[in-house]
Structure 1
Amino acid sequence: MRAGAHIGLPARSLCCLVVCRGGPGVVERGGLMDQDMVMRARVMLLSANTRVVRGVTGLWIYRTLTPVEPEVYGSKLAYVLVEACASPLVRDLPEQRMALLDEAVEVATALSPANPFRDKVLAKALTARRREVEGPSVS
């Protein structure tokens, strides 16, 4: 089965997910998130049987659920966004890596200061973005 096939995503969909922040298929109706997509994301999350779902699927799940419950899923979205920058799918795409990191910083900054994971994920996102801006270190 190709990556993301179970939710209708193309095999090389990470780049698409960089551009489509809400994720493909997430439609707002009258300002409300499509509840079918939210339910699908919740089912996928529950069936994953892991603390953090990674990769394209994790990006889709957390991008779908973060607008609904930002304090619950925002820190995981920021974490997965930073991880996605190391993906082979964006290895040669510096603009997409920077877009992922900018989104991670934006999501982490939007978390409440009372969120116990905010400081950790924000520091991780800012560090990764700083490394991306500085470029590869020359030894």
Structure 2
Amino acid sequence: MLWIKSFHIIFMVTWFAGLFYLPRLFVYHALCEDQPGKERFKVMERKLYYGIMTPSAVLTIVFGVWLWLGYGFSGAWLHAKITLVAVLILYHYYCGKYVTTFKNDANQHGHVFYRWFNEFPVLILFAVVILVVIKPDLPHLIY
């Protein structure tokens, strides 16, 4: 199972690298005013999203489920983690929508929006790492 855990972590890191970098590309793309630059960003965004991020997301989830089934993890911390992963999958989906929006030259947001959008996966990463490492007894935290 240590191999499975290793692959889960490797693909999670790769996925997060894309989740951090793609919205940064959106920032620069939103600021770009020349057509050759815009076309370059379209290629970079497409390759990052479809070539790196999406396969990494799928493999992160596959190895995560494999770990879950193999170790039989349970508890409120796991439910919280799975909820955050679901939110991250939704964020990933929205990144794909923005890739398509830029591809079609239909972007409606400025660079400031994408700067804020870029910060969201950092919050998720903090929460997930704390949940996995500390495995807090969440019901006791509520009272």
TM-score (norm 1): 0.31
Higher relative contact order (CA 8 A, sep 6+): 2
Q: Give the number of the structure whose residues are more often helix, by fraction.
A: 2
| Larger gyration radius, structure 1 or structure 2 | 2
